[in-house]
């Protein structure tokens, strides 16, 4: 279904910002109004006709709300909060004021209940112009955000696109830091996932300024060498190692008893397998494998 955009005009039919007179362009007799003069190179934050799906953010008592048709629209970048768009040309299709204003739940132009701010669509927001519920801040698109201009849920910070971020300006999920493009990063300005550190391009790096994956240190490139049982594994990558299911459980001693014979044999086939290191780390000994009849 096509999205509807609206233009909020002052009761005297003047733009509240530019004082442009909309009177000659009003719809009449059930017919749309004439197209307004075209504005060349209309651009957000510059000249143009500004319209919004979220009319309640701009409404004030006595204003009129018109559904509009648009030409040459410029919208915010993908994933960014869209409070309004800028158009090169619009026309007013119909006066929707009497239809929309009753939806407002209180004098602060909220659509929802329990808001202590203004112009919210949702419930229990503390702040202004949120779309969602239980936000503490403003211009959030989603729920449970603490901060401003987040698009997602459960963010603590500002300008995050994603969910569960603790920090600001992240594009992804569950980052602890700022300016990350990816998810599960602990640090700042990483491009990738699950990095512990900053300025990494890649995944699962611990340290700073690594370009690649799985490095522990600084200024490394490519794929880090894989170590198992304290020795390098030639010709294998981290992504190629799949541990038997029983080794993905928190109590390996207990999981060993219910593991299948096939899983236990696969364990012994892990690169560089060493009984001494395995017992020290997991508590499972060579004698346990012998008892299970694997050796």
Alpha helices in the chain (DSSP H): 97-100, 252-258, 261-268, 275-282, 286-291
237 — pLDDT class (breaks 50, 70, 90): confident
Q: Give the separation between CA 150 and CA 155, rounded to whole angstroms.
A: 7
- 125 burial via Cβ count (<10 Å: 0-12, 13-18, 19+): buried
pLDDT at 113: 87
Q: How many CB atoms lie within 10 A of CB 94?
A: 16
Q: Give the separation between CA 101 and CA 64, rounded to whole angstroms.
A: 9
The pTM assigned to this predicted structure is 0.68
Q: Which residues pair with 86 in a beta bridge?
A: 50, 74
For residue 196, is pLDDT > 80?
yes
pLDDT at 79: 60
pLDDT at 255: 96
**pLDDT tens for each residue of 18-52:** 889 999 999 999 999 999 999 999 998 888 999 99
Closest Cα partner for 66 from 99, 96, 26?
96
Q: What Cα–Cα distance (Å) separates residue 27 from each residue in 81, 89, 273?
A: 30, 16, 80
- What is the greatest pairwise CA distance in the chain? 92
pLDDT at 112: 87
């Amino acid at each position: 279904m096509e999205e509807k955009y609206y233009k909020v005009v002052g009761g005297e039919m003047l733009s509240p910002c530019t004082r442009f007179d909309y009177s000659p362009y009003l719809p009449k007799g059930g017919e749309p109004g004439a197209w307004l003069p075209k504005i060349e190179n209309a651009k957000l934050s510059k000249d143009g006709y500004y319209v919004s799906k979220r009319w309640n953010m701009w409404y004030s008592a006595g204003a009129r709300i018109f559904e509009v048709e648009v030409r040459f629209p410029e919208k915010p970048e993908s994933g960014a909060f869209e409070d309004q768009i800028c158009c090169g040309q619009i026309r007013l299709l119909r006066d929707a004021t009497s239809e929309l204003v009753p939806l407002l739940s209180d004098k602060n132009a909220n659509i929802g209940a329990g808001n202590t701010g203004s112009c919210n669509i949702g419930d229990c927001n503390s702040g202004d112009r949120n779309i969602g519920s239980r936000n503490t801040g403003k211009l959030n698109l989603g729920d449970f955000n603490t901060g401003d201009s987040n698009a997602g849920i459960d963010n603590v910070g500002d300008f995050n696109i994603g969910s569960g971020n603790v920090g600001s300006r992240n594009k992804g999920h569950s980052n602890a830091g700022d300016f990350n493009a990816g998810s599960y990063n602990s640090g700042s300005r990483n491009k990738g996932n699950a990095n512990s550190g900053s300025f990494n391009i890649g995944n699962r790096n611990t340290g700073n300024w690594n370009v690649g994956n799985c490095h522990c240190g600084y200024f490394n490139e490519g794929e880090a060498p894989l170590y198992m049982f304290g020795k390098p594994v030639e010709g294998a990558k981290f992504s190629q190692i799949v541990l038997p299911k029983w080794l993905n459980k928190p109590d390996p001693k207990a999981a060993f008893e219910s593991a299948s014979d096939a899983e236990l044999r696969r364990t012994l086939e892990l690169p560089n397998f060493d009984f001494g290191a395995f017992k020290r780390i997991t508590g499972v000994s060579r004698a346990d494998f012998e008892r299970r009849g694997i050796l």
